[in-house]
């Protein structure tokens, strides 16, 4: 049976990730070696491609032991403590923090850097321990309250002012639920401000992605296992087309899925490289 296989034109790296990879490749072309704090992108195949060119992924612990080297900070951003460590160790930073994340860090810092008597509780709707969230919490000397859903709102004092922000890759629907729940529980007359800081590169994609997912019998969603953005977008595809499979690369395709589908859509997260989706297409056509 002839198969119709289509790659979603809008899937793939967002400009934040494209810029980080470009900066890494520029440095690698010149010197053949560069450290990167954490995975440059949540996609192990792309990390491997760059590692082959000389990129070395390091942890925060490694950073504190290194001296006089160049280190790339990825699109997720870092807390101020990372910059301090780099400075005291003579480390040159190549800063690839995405401008959208940088703006969010600055806004949170501005909310926090007021007289303590005026300071609201800073609440971040996001994933605890996620690199971007750590960078955001760092703007408040660790005081921001991170909540992953409305069940965690008990940590918040509704008798005191609240400024709510969101990690850039969270879902708009979830954020709206949090706003509604806080509004419902706020003590009368107490200030509550919410800032929708969700990246439109992620949230605007949902509608188009769902349209794409419904137009195929089988959808292969290609994303690294560590990508939060990937999990969110995959869930949206699965919601409209239950025959959606999450795969990390072409190796994970099962022939049985392909045999049963006449039309197959390939899409991915903002951390999915285009070449990986092309690989998936070649694999399908070869089965």
Which residue stretch of 11-19, 142-150, 207-215, 243-251 sits at the interface with ligand SF4 (rule: CB under 6 A)?
Answer: 11-19
Report, in Å, the least distance between residue 134 CB and ligand SF4: 15
Q: Does 17 bind ligand SF4 (CB under 6 A)?
A: yes
Q: Write the DSSP assignment of 34-45 as a string of letters.
A: EEEES-SSS-HH
Report, in Å, the least distance between residue 40 CB and ligand SF4: 11
Q: Which of 6, 46, 132, 152 is catalytic?
A: 132
Q: Does 101 bind ligand SF4 (CB under 6 A)?
A: yes
Binds ligand SF4 (CB under 6 A): choice among 5, 50, 73, 75? 75
Q: Does 249 bind ligand SF4 (CB under 6 A)?
A: no
Name the helix (H) or strand (E) containing 266. Answer: strand 263-268
Q: Does 140 bind ligand SF4 (CB under 6 A)?
A: no
Name the helix (H) or strand (E) containing 258. Answer: helix 255-259
What is d(CA 190, CA 63) in angstroms, rounded to the nearest whole number? Answer: 43
Report, in Å, the least distance between residue 269 CB and ligand SF4: 9
Q: Does 146 bind ligand SF4 (CB under 6 A)?
A: no
Identify the CA nearest to 252 among candidates 284, 286, 216, 210.
Answer: 284
What is d(CA 215, CA 167) in angstroms, rounded to the nearest whole number? Answer: 30
Report, in Å, the least distance between residue 159 CB and ligand SF4: 33
Binds ligand SF4 (CB under 6 A): choice among 139, 167, 168, 272? 168
Look up 132 and say whether it is catalytic.
yes
> Which backbone phi and psi does 223 adopt, to 5 degrees?
-160, 150
What is d(CA 62, CA 35) in angstroms, rounded to the nearest whole number? Answer: 10
What is d(CA 147, CA 204) in angstroms, rounded to the nearest whole number? Answer: 23
* CB nearer ligand SF4, residue 96 or residue 250: 96
Which residue stretch of 13-21, 141-149, 184-192, 210-218 sits at the interface with ligand SF4 (rule: CB under 6 A)?
Answer: 13-21
Q: Is 238 in contact with 244 (CB distance < 8 Å)?
A: yes
Q: Does 139 bind ligand SF4 (CB under 6 A)?
A: no
**Number of helices and strands in the chain (H, E):** 12, 12
Report, in Å, the least distance between residue 19 CB and ligand SF4: 9
Q: Is 70 in contact with 91 (CB distance < 8 Å)?
A: yes
Binds ligand SF4 (CB under 6 A): choice among 100, 209, 269, 277? 100
What is d(CA 30, CA 94) in angstroms, rounded to the nearest whole number? Answer: 14
Residues designated as active site: 132
**Interface residue list for ligand SF4 (CB under 6 A):** 14-17, 75, 98, 100-101, 168-169, 199, 201-202, 270
């Amino acid at each position: 049976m002839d198969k119709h296989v289509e790659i979603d034109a809008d899937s793939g790296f967002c400009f934040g990730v494209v810029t980080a990879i470009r900066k890494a490749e520029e440095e690698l072309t010149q010197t053949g070696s560069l450290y990167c704090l954490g995975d440059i992108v949540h996609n192990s195949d792309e990390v491997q491609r760059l590692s082959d060119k000389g990129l070395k992924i390091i942890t925060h612990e490694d950073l504190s032991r290194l001296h006089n080297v160049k280190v790339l900070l990825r699109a997720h951003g870092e807390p101020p403590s990372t910059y301090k460590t780099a400075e005291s160790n003579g480390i040159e930073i190549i800063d690839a923090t995405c401008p959208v994340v940088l703006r969010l860090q600055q806004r949170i810092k501005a909310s926090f850097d007021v007289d303590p008597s005026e300071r609201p509780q800073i609440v971040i709707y996001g994933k605890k321990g996620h690199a971007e969230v750590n960078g955001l919490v760092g703007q408040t000397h660790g005081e921001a309250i991170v909540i992953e859903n409305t069940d965690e709102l008990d940590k918040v004092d509704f008798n005191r002012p609240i400024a709510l922000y969101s990690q850039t890759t969270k879902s708009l629907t979830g954020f709206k639920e949090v706003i509604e729940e806080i509004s419902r529980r706020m003590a009368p007359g107490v200030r509550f401000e919410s800032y929708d800081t969700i990246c439109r590169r992620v949230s605007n994609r949902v509608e188009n992605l769902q349209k794409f997912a419904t137009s195929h019998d089988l959808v292969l969603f290609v994303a690294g296992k560590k990508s939060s953005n990937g999990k969110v977008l995959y869930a949206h595809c699965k919601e409209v087309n239950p025959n959606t499979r999450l795969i990390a690369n072409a190796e994970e395709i099962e022939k049985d899925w392909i045999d049963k589908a006449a039309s197959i859509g390939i899409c991915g997260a903002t951390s999915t490289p285009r070449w990986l989706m092309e690989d998936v297409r070649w694999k399908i056509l070869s089965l």
